[in-house]
A = this chain, B = another copy of it.
Amino acid sequence: MDVSRQIGLFMEPASIAVIGASKRTGDGSLSVLENLLRNKFKGNLYPINPEADSILGVKVFPSVMAVPGNIDLALITTPRHAVFESVKDCSRKGVKAIIIVAQGFADGHEDGKKLQADILETAKKSGARVLGPNTIGVYNAFHSLSTSFLGVKLEKIPIGIISQSGLFFPGHCEFIFAGKALDIGNGGDVNFADGLEYFENDPETKVILLHIEGMMDGRRFAEVAKRVAKKKTIIALKTGASTEGAKAIQSHTGSLVGDNRIYDAIFRQCGVIRAGNMEELYDLAKIFLFSSPMKGKRIAVLSMSGAGGVIATDACVKSNLEIASLSPETLEEIRKHFPPWVPIYNPIDLWTGFQISGYPYEELVQKMLNAVAEDQNVDAILLISGVLTNHSLWNPTAAIRQTINTYHKPIACWMYGPERKDVLSDFEEENIPAFPSCERAVNALSKLNLAWENR
């Protein structure tokens, strides 16, 4: 079986055995079975618990061997001390995909490391692949599947994530939005390269995110990442980059960490974009998913606030982007809509134009966006806009969408103001990347351009 089909058993199982399914359900119980049901998993569910006949109306089996049909995926949710026996049961049953949730293996003391090694050897002999230990498991919104103990929503977003922690599981933390996820935990068996091979030809995934603490087989990772990055954008957050952080990893996933500079070199060599923190991972996921390539560094800034234009200029300089020199024709076009006492140049301060022109705000934004998008000296646009009162009066969504459709240049937005939340939902629907600060919008654009330069 090739890797992609092996991982497919985890991501698209037809049947799941939940070993150690708890009888406790309801608020605060963190029941995995309950959440599988809530998300309407469409395959067969076999809860295993010798002390129950049925949980939430689902027939319970006393053991793995007692399950009549085939088991694609075994989800072992027992306490640590019962894990090894459960893995042996799975081997006897011929299960080929096993998730081990419990902690206390390579992430623990020496005896835990040994226990993990023994378990993995047993699984390997039977031809099974193991995800974990120390994992939340898998998430696949396209298959109505989440093995989390939290009732996370399933959202069909064309982003896949491979992580080493539940912190990066969709729905656990607001920084992560993805339609598919694979938490490899300690990464004892299933690893980043396996996950990448699965996403490589997955038609539902366009952008791949990685949260890496460490890895065993850097060579295979580099080989696979280099190939996959030619087809899909890969963005990686490597944590434990400091010496002290590397130490902390020992008690989290027990991964081999390696020198931070080696990761830098591998990522660069493979065409993987590196994010510096979770906020940036989130920002880059958004801009790469939504934007056309950014073929140069010249930014036109449209700002409702003059102070915002100044802040944007600082941010562009810091992110190694340039404030575009607008052509005389563009400046002439813009000047028409402003009073004569306003000096016109990039960044463009929209406020006086709005106050004096008498246009509705969105109409002014449309004219200005098109004017700068038309300009051959502009590679991308930064729009800074406030949602001041009733958001219907200050909503530039339709104007931005029209300019993107016409000119295919990236537009990043910093939306601020008391009513911004209402506008942001429109942005999401229209796939327009909005950011919570100017610096984050500009940084995202700079990485979009970096990817183009390194292509």
Binding site for B on A (CB under 8 A): 27-28, 30, 80, 103-104, 107-109, 111-112, 150-152, 163-168, 171-175, 211, 213, 239-245, 247-253, 277-279, 305-311, 313-318, 323, 339, 341-343, 345, 347, 349, 351-352, 386, 388-390, 393, 416-418, 420, 436-439
Contact = CB atoms under 8 A, between A and B. Distances in A.
A187 to B, nearest CB: 13
A310 B240 contact: yes
A437 B389 contact: no
11 contacts: A80-B339, A109-B343, A151-B389, A166-B305, A167-B416, A168-B307, A239-B311, A240-B313, A244-B313, A251-B306, A279-B439
A226 to B, nearest CB: 26
A37 to B, nearest CB: 16
Nearest to A420: B174
Contact of A150 (B80, B107, B249, B388): B388
B28 A393 contact: yes
B251 A345 contact: yes
Contacts of A103: 342, 351-352
A22 to B, nearest CB: 12
Contacts of A306: 107, 165, 251-253
- Chain B CB count within 10 A is highest, among A103, A211, A349, for A103
B174 A417 contact: yes
A108 B437 contact: no
A355 to B, nearest CB: 8
Contact of A279 (B165, B316, B393, B437): B437
Contacts of A253: 306
Interface-centre pick from A314, A351, A439 (highest chain B CB count, 10 A): A314
Contacts of A323: 244, 248
B165 A307 contact: yes
Contacts of A241: 314
B239 A343 contact: no
A211 B307 contact: yes
Contact of A174 (B211, B250, B278, B418): B418
Contact of A112 (B107, B240, B341): B341
Contacts of A252: 306-307, 309-310, 349
Contact of A108 (B305, B342, B436): B342
A390 B27 contact: yes
A341 B83 CA distance: 14
A103 B80 CA distance: 69
A342 to B, nearest CB: 6
